[in-house]
Structure 1
Amino acid sequence: MTETEPSPPIEAANTSAAVPEAASDEKATAEKAPAKPREIEMPREIEIKFIADAAGLASALASPLLSGEAAPSRKLTSVYFDTPDWVLHRNRIALRVRRSGRAAPMMTLKWPAEAMEGVFARGEIEFPVPKLQPDLTLFEGELAEKLRELIGDSPLAAKYETRVTRVTRLVSHGAARIEAAFDEGVIAVGERSRPLCELELELKSGEPRELYEFAALVADSLPLVLDIVSKAERAFHFAKGSAPAPLKMRPAPLAPEVILDEGVARVALGCCDHYIANWAALRDGDDPEAIHQMRVALRRLRAALAMFKRAIPCGEFELFRAEARDLATAMGPARDCDALRELVEIGPLAHFGERKDFSPLLDALEQRRLGDYQQARAMLASRRPTLFVLKLSAFVARRGWRNALSVEELSILTGTIDVFAAEALERLYSRVLKRGKNLAELPDAQRHRARIALKNLRYGAEFFASCFAQNRDVAAFIRATAQLQNVLGAHNDAASADHFLSQLHDSGAARAAGLVTGWYARGALIADEELAQDWKNFKRIKPFWR
């Protein structure tokens, strides 16, 4: 992906971006109260973290890219505190007290940055304290109120700690000054511990795009993997024996008056953040939703960039779309196995129960799934997804699409997002109506084209729903679109099942496969009966952007 010099700045543009919820230990706790300190105007940091093994960290220490003004190494002990019911963790807040040598301990509070600032930004404030215990009386104003509201009278206790040797260097890239912190040590929970090897790059001065560009250079030359899971989050899951939960996307907030230039940034980076937010769930867990959400994020990104490219003829949009397609395709076999297993379990297996033996089929499917997951995790550990995220982040930070426009044409980017959204949604809606004409009578290939058009319309509706939040028809329109998309998906499910099942040669698995094929052929017929009514329901709902 090429990078060029930024075009002249656009009045009223800013550099914020969207971010999904960070991972938590369980889906249930992840859905509890949001992190209220996100609303507090406090200092922010922009930091990119890489994880590695000891050899990888040694390579980073020896790399000329990361040579610079070095400080003496320090031994850091950080103790993390929370309430008995983990209220801080549930709100994605980390409270720690850190000791370094004979210096006074430092109490630090960290929380997610504003939703538009991205997964690499966070809020942070710190105070010296006399001992390795937090002192909440040092916090003032709105921050103190928020903490009182969350914690109340609950006691704070030490939950886990990290002990690392840190080497720091100050390096330059362009006009930016970047602190590289090399941490090697352990996460400790009681008598248990696990290794910890990280490289953190924190922007001290300069533009965020320079940090992303530098991080991409580092990732391209060293055996490092991008990661957004904090030490506190990693320690929490080690303490609980859990894995990060998969996360659904929360569309970027877009008020009608947001300009197009900013809207492109929020939507594109929101999709990218949704993608990377699910890496840890795939790497450390086995929930099928992780791969599903990663693929959804990449499909959303491709749909968004295609929409924007019609108004802004930027060649890099197409480069990122192609890379997103390839990354999603690499996870396709693993997702297909998950989807088929779910189809078997909720369909024929639930219906027939012990009357039919599905174990040979499920065993064959599991064997295939394990291999496909191994390949998906190997892809995630490679340089490719890391470079994709960092280069896209740099592209958004420098507003790279401006380069596709002349100085006279830049004014299009100062138009409000609601005008662009209405035009884009109308075009997508018209395409659905055209491809869906006589929908119930169309052959599978043409239904598939209609389904793709519906999917893009649904993504667009979700991207831009907040521009039309006052319209009561928004939620109803999205529900109707999703329902129609799901009904059309029944044929796709049956075709995917046929493709996989036709490759089985074990006789026991083949018998079960026959039941599954028949079950989903029947399901496709039932879906056909629902299709005409769902299509009518969809067309009855007034498009909310009009």
Structure 2
Amino acid sequence: MTQSKRETERKYEPPSGGVAGLPDLTGVGPVASVTTAGPEELDAVYHDTGDLRLAGSSVTLRRRTGGPDAGWHLKLPIGGDTREEVRAPLSDDVPEALRDLVLSRTRGAPLRPVVRIRSTRAVRQLRDAGGSVLAELSLDEVRADATASGGGRAEWGELEVELADDLGPGLLDVVEKKLRKKGIVRSDSPSKLARALRDTGVGGPAVRRPSAGVVAGSAGSYVLAYLREQVGTLVALDPAVRRDLPDAVHQMRVACRRLRGCLRSYRSVLDRRVTDPVRAELKWLAGELGTARDQEVLRERLGAGLDGLPGDLVLGPVAARLRAWEVSRGVDVRSRTREALGAPRYLRLLDALDALVDRPPLRAKAAGKPARTMARAVLQEYGRLAGRMERALALPAGRTRETELHEARKAAKKLRYAAEVARPALGKPVVRLGNHAKAVQQLLGEHQDAVVAQDTLRELAVAAHAAGESAFTWGVLHGRERAVAEARQQALPGVWRSASDPALRAPLAH
């Protein structure tokens, strides 16, 4: 069983004179009083792979005793001064749940102790006028020992300021201003672990080198920068997907699509004999994630539709049937997602993506100037979208047209992603085209969601009727979704007229 919380903190060099050198923070911002807690004796053993893969991605995993939160702590970077801390009860070995959460980083490599850090901590609590804790100042005397035989030892002092839960960073800013006036400056080490690894002689993680053979400022450099960013996003989202956090599956699926789109659109830069197998595996992963995401979207849509109906239009046990449908579908899709992320195939895909960005299969055009190569790739995706739209708009209303509109939506998405890759190189012209592609994609997405909802509502209506329940409410919801789909189709020609304006593409035609 794990628990988690957001942790926002800043680290500083200790004041000269120890606790006596701390400024009085009473009256700083909302701080009404400062109280003393502790001292605490903390003993933490940090675990990592032999080549420090966790440290290399700013992740820490420790087993700590002492203090009010003894147990296993996994800290995952979020951004800025904030990290997500996932906790598990004390045990001798790394809990399986935490092993799973770092799998995208470790790739299954064994975890072992790398350094032991003991701290004697003096705590000052900053409280508001009501007595609630706003933040804690912790002044630590730190002793670190490498766990390997013959490892070194290091000692230092450190000051931490950690916000209480659910508070914004504004308090940290005003406290830091007060600390600076006393000559207390930020630490040059991002964490105790980073300093311990350095000062005990364990060393740091391997520094990732630039992609081999890539010329700075070339088309290849822009494509590889985008790929590296999306691979990092995919890896970072893995723990959130495993924990079933809101929107995590969607964001990971989007990362898969962006990677696939980039590899498809920029085949003139990267050899498809290498990238096509990777695209196929990304398609597999997106498909496994897609089931969960599609279920999530549909559940939210049907629930919102039902909640929006007046009471006199809700006949029979509609809410109960919808909940039963959610439960029956939800268990299956979550299991499928977990199985995919636990499969060796998934880890092989992550390794293949790393190899792709580290040793890219560059083609001759990768070394050229980006304007011509990247603009051509974007315009080719536009041409594919235009063909899809022409076919769809020429069809009469019905299933065939709905299918073609769905394909056009996917083509709009590919154009949008191709434009994203080229944005740093081509600037505003490609941004404008990408924005119009996004507008087409969103409109067609709303249409597709309404079409899918109609099919599900019909199934629910049939099931309700078979059980002797009224199907009236399901029919009302079905009619509303049909109206939404028709409205989106009516709006489509105007949106497409704007997106297909030749003036948008003229600056990209060289």
Q: What's the TM-score, normalizing by structure 2?
A: 0.59
Q: Please provide the CA RMSD for this pair.
A: 4.8
Say whether the 8 Å CA contact 1:480–1:537 is kept in structure 2: yes
- Aligned equivalents of 1:327 and 1:373: distance in 2? 14
- The letter for the 2-side match of 1:479 is N
Q: How does 1:401-412 map to 2 (within 5 A)?
A: 401-402=361-362, 411-412=364-365
Q: CA deviation at 1:48?
A: 8.6
**Paired residue for 1:437?**
390
2:322 counterpart of 1:362: yes
- The letter for the 2-side match of 1:265 is L
Q: Deviations over 1:280-339 (max 9, x none)?
A: 22223431x111111111011111111222454331201110110101111122111111
1:148–1:379 Cα change, 3 Å:
same
- The letter for the 2-side match of 1:153 is K
Q: CA deviation at 1:76?
A: 2.0
- The letter for the 2-side match of 1:375 is R
- The letter for the 2-side match of 1:496 is V
Q: CA deviation at 1:273?
A: 1.8
Q: 1:298 aligns with which of 256, 277, 287?
A: 256
**Paired residue for 1:393?**
354
- Aligned equivalents of 1:545 and 1:82: distance in 2? 60
**Paired residue for 1:497?**
453
Q: Deviations over 1:103-148 (max 9, x none)?
A: 9xxxxxxxxxxxxxxxxxxxxxxx976445469xxxxxxxxxxx98
Q: 1:275 aligns with which of 234, 238, 243?
A: 234
- Aligned equivalents of 1:449 and 1:351: distance in 2? 32
Q: How does 1:15-34 map to 2 (within 5 A)?
A: 25=6
Q: CA deviation at 1:207?
A: 6.4
Q: How does 1:31-180 map to 2 (within 5 A)?
A: 46=56, 53-54=94-95, 74-77=115-118, 98-100=142-144, 130-133=156-159, 151-153=176-178
Q: 1:371 aligns with which of 323, 332, 338?
A: 332
Q: How does 1:405-484 map to 2 (within 5 A)?
A: 411-437=364-390, 439-442=392-395, 443-469=401-427, 471=428, 473-484=429-440
Structure 1 stretch displaced more, 522-531 or 305-314 = 305-314
2:493 counterpart of 1:532: yes
Rg larger for: 2
**Paired residue for 2:82?**
none
- Aligned equivalents of 1:82 and 1:280: distance in 2? 33
Say whether the 8 Å CA contact 2:371–2:425 is kept in structure 1: yes
1:518–1:419 Cα change, 3 Å:
same
Q: Deviations over 1:190-211 (max 9, x none)?
A: xxxxxxxxxxx9327x96999x
- Aligned equivalents of 2:179 and 2:311: distance in 1? 48
**Paired residue for 1:545?**
508
2:483 counterpart of 1:522: yes
- Aligned equivalents of 1:532 and 1:306: distance in 2? 28
1:332–1:503 Cα change, 3 Å:
farther
Q: Deviations over 1:454-505 (max 9, x none)?
A: 1111111122122222x3x554433322221122223321332244445543
- The letter for the 2-side match of 1:280 is P
- Aligned equivalents of 1:78 and 1:319: distance in 2? 50
- Aligned equivalents of 2:321 and 2:432: distance in 1? 39
- Aligned equivalents of 2:197 and 2:146: distance in 1? 17
SS at structure 2 position matched to 1:202: coil
- The letter for the 2-side match of 1:258 is G
Q: Deviations over 1:68-89 (max 9, x none)?
A: xx9x97532469999979xxxx
Q: CA deviation at 1:452?
A: 1.9
- Aligned equivalents of 1:498 and 1:440: distance in 2? 21
- The letter for the 1-side match of 2:478 is T
- Aligned equivalents of 1:417 and 1:79: distance in 2? 56
2:335 counterpart of 1:335: no
- Aligned equivalents of 1:530 and 1:82: distance in 2? 60
SS at structure 2 position matched to 1:493: helix
1:360–1:208 Cα change, 3 Å:
same
- Aligned equivalents of 1:280 and 1:455: distance in 2? 26
SS at structure 1 position matched to 2:504: coil
1:55–1:274 Cα change, 3 Å:
closer
1:321–1:523 Cα change, 3 Å:
same
- Aligned equivalents of 1:515 and 1:455: distance in 2? 32
1:376–1:293 Cα change, 3 Å:
same
Kindly, what percent of the aligned residue pairs are identical?
Answer: 23
Structure 1: runs of 5+ lacking an equivalent: 1-22, 30-44, 59-64, 86-94, 104-126, 136-146, 169-177, 182-200, 211-255, 403-409
Q: Deviations over 1:32-62 (max 9, x none)?
A: xxxxxxxxxxxxx84596989457999xxxx
Q: Deviations over 1:262-283 (max 9, x none)?
A: 2232122222222222222222
- Aligned equivalents of 1:499 and 1:260: distance in 2? 44
- Aligned equivalents of 1:79 and 1:387: distance in 2? 43
SS at structure 1 position matched to 2:178: coil
1:388–1:513 Cα change, 3 Å:
farther
Q: Deviations over 1:363-413 (max 9, x none)?
A: 0342022431233133224433333223311221122x14xxxxxxx5422
**Paired residue for 2:307?**
349
2:205 counterpart of 1:264: no
- Aligned equivalents of 2:355 and 2:470: distance in 1? 49
- Aligned equivalents of 2:351 and 2:141: distance in 1? 31
Equivalent pairs, count? 364
Say whether the 8 Å CA contact 2:141–2:156 is kept in structure 1: no
**Paired residue for 1:307?**
265
**Paired residue for 1:38?**
none
Higher relative contact order (CA 8 A, sep 6+): 1
Q: CA deviation at 1:361?
A: 4.1
- The letter for the 1-side match of 2:271 is P
- Aligned equivalents of 1:478 and 1:293: distance in 2? 19
- Aligned equivalents of 1:346 and 1:56: distance in 2? 34
Say whether the 8 Å CA contact 2:261–2:417 is kept in structure 1: yes
- Aligned equivalents of 1:536 and 1:82: distance in 2? 63
Say whether the 8 Å CA contact 1:468–1:474 is kept in structure 2: yes
2:447 counterpart of 1:488: no
Q: How does 1:143-222 map to 2 (within 5 A)?
A: 151-153=176-178, 202-203=205-206
- Aligned equivalents of 2:157 and 2:197: distance in 1? 24
**Paired residue for 2:22?**
none
- The letter for the 2-side match of 1:326 is W
